[in-house]
Amino acid sequence: MSRRSWAVARPYVLGALLPGLALLSAGRRSGWWFVGLAGALLLFFRDPERRAVRRPGVVYAAADGVISAVEPAEDPWLGGRAVRIVTFLSLYDVHVTRSPLAGEVAALEKEEGGHLPAFLGGAGRNSGYRVCLEGPDGRAAVEMRAGMVARRITPWIGEGEPVKAGQRLGLIHLGSRTDVLLPAAGTEVIVRPGQRVRAGVSPLARREDGR
């Protein structure tokens, strides 16, 4: 766990651990349930190091999880026609989001919305953050969507900041989905629904023209 992820996890972990210790000190065996929950929360907010060989023109996964959809979309930032690659994150997945390509954060936008369970189609309209990236391999947008439990996202980047492919963008609290949007023209998607991916490691697509 990194210092930044611990700062996010601390209220959740201590909120379970302290009542558990209090119950155990009073002789209540139910305290073990809270201690176990604190341990599970520590595991949930883990932030492992990721290293991979970067290849020009390759767009990498922004999140750990399972690809739940690859679908056409419209996006003004990407020039109109786009492709949306949706990753569903279960409670067992690392919830740190990473940049799919190298470039600069052209915009960081907080978007208000609902709080549907992340596995439902309508979760694409949940509240979250949208990160617009622009770099040598073209433009991309990353949408981090909160789920129905904690309903919070902590961004770790700012507008105008340079990022590397695989660099951490932020952390989604307790259940979510992450979408990567790319221009339809010149993009070859190389993942399919049902495929498991790892943030910053698994290739999602190739940009044929680098624009």
CA separation (Å) from 59 to 16, 65, 66, 100, 148?
38, 16, 16, 5, 29
176 flagged as catalytic: yes
The answer to whether 135 and 161 have CB atoms below 8 angstroms apart is: no
Which is catalytic among the residues 68, 99, 176, 202?
176
146 φ, ψ (degrees, to nearest 5): -80, 155
DSSP conformation class of 112: -
- Closest C-alpha to 59, from 89, 30, 82, 38: 82
Tokens in use for 163? 């990022």
H helix intervals, the chain? 3-25, 31-44
Tokens in use for 141? 């947008």
Positions annotated as catalytic residues are 176
